[in-house]
Amino acid sequence: MSRPSPTESTTAAQTAAMDAREAALEALRDMYCNRADVTGYDIGFKRIGGLATTKVCLRVHVDAKLPEDELDPATRIVRLINGFPVDVVASTYKVHRDQGDSQNTGATTLLSGSPCQRRGAKAGTIGAIAMDRATGKPGILSNWHVLSSPEGADSDLVYGHSTAALPIARLKKSMLSRHGDAAFAPLSGATPWHPTLKQLNLPLTGVAPAALGRILCKYGRTTGLTRARVDGIGTYKVVHTLPNGRRKTVEIDGFRLIPQDLAAPQAALSLPGDSGACWIDPDTGDAVGLHMAGEGDDWPEGDCALACHMDRVLECLDLRLATLSDLHSTKQAPEATKPVNALHMVPGINSSAAAFAPRTVSDTDQIFSVQGNIWTEFLKTMLAQHPEFVQIPFDIEDAVADYFGYGTSGEALHAIVLASPAFLRDGAVPDQAVLTREVTFRGVCFRIAEAYRARGYCVTA
């Protein structure tokens, strides 16, 4: 039998030491998980005088750190467990959502760092463009508390910088557990995307685990581009404020970040609105974590940030990061055909029939979008026929199904389309029996597009 090489022996010893430390951390968690004043447990850098050192230890996080002589002996945190030293860190953590519709940048391409929000909810940040492994479709990845939360529901529409603009996606799946705070919403196809980090134009090339001391960067909706150093890896208690004012605390595995240079003054590391941003290694382009919380006391220095592990989030939601290859293989509508009007009915909306004028195939460079151009004319005609709907907000996916009913939506749409001269071009209106089988406005758009193509028009839908 050959003797293990020095390298193999060193690696085995390091692995054994890491396993022992992880076991000690879990024992520490079991010891303090029921204490209300404990906010986390991790492996990280020991602090002396409030500053991090290079010495690694086990740490217990508490909401307030008292002097030794003021502590009740029964409540003191142990200083040693399974042979490993234990430090105490004072910090609390809460989610970072901001009031929506405060940004109107006019940017049309979705990136890591672009804003996202639901109607009636606070806003956050797109962490990454991801691909659903089950369907192969692209979508946006952000936090559960941004795209879903207790007041949200599956199939909710997701918007970008403003809920007055077109929706960019629709919520499909989410998670809030020890494995992470994350949600995924497939893209609607109306807005282009690119798998890069905003401002740096850094492609997200892969996924990597968090490592102590690693320098990462993120682009958040509120703080923009910030850099930080991984200060701890463990489990943290994150406070979520519910709509009724109650608070819910969730234990989540992840890592803690502090400013890259504690000696140099800087703007806040994270603030409300940054939730969902992706922490990325700027040297490799690897996505490491999804930003989920910050310092609970709103320290002006932006003392720390928390992120859940990207690899675990992607595994739980059955996703992978989108690549440049996905970008090229995924059909995106030409910029000129993208609808620019909101998908919500406004009193007094006007639209001329010329806005829907299609181009024949002979105009080789002219393409029109049925979905985008039909919508305004559809709302105008519907208002004329059904004035009682003037105050109802409609969207392109569920307006018909919700307000006409699934069984009669195609019939109702057929009547509205026939009532508008803008749709009567060369008889390009499908039979009522065809439209009756559709239950969403989007489905009807596809049927009308098919009818126009059959008559020689160049159409996208």
Does 356 score more than 50 pLDDT?
A: no
pLDDT score recorded for residue 277: 96
pLDDT bucket at 153, cuts 50 / 70 / 90? confident
Residue 85, Cβ density class (10 Å: 0-12 exposed, 13-18 middle, ≥19 buried): middle
For the residues 48-62, what does the mean pLDDT come to? Answer: 85
Instruction: For the chain, give every domain's residue range.
Output: 6-90, 91-330, 335-460
Does 384 score more than 50 pLDDT?
A: yes
Angle in degrees, CA 185, 339, 342, rounded to 5: 75
pTM beyond cutoff 0.85: no
- DSSP-assigned letters across all residues of 162-180: -TTS---EE--EEEEETTE
For the residues 320-334, what does the mean pLDDT come to? Answer: 74
Structure tokens at 401: 């199904």
pLDDT score recorded for residue 165: 79
Using alpha carbons, list the distances in angstroms from residue 308 to 174, 251, 449.
Answer: 14, 11, 44
Chain segment 245-258, per-residue pLDDT in tens? 678 889 999 999 99
pLDDT score recorded for residue 333: 40
Residue 80 identity: L
Give the homologous superfamily in CATH for domain 91-330. Answer: Trypsin-like serine proteases (2.40.10.10)
**Average pLDDT, whole number, for the chain?**
77
Of residues 366 and 436, more confidently modeled: 436
pLDDT bucket at 259, cuts 50 / 70 / 90? confident
Q: Which residues pair with 62 in a beta bridge?
A: 38, 90
Does 107 score more than 80 pLDDT?
A: no
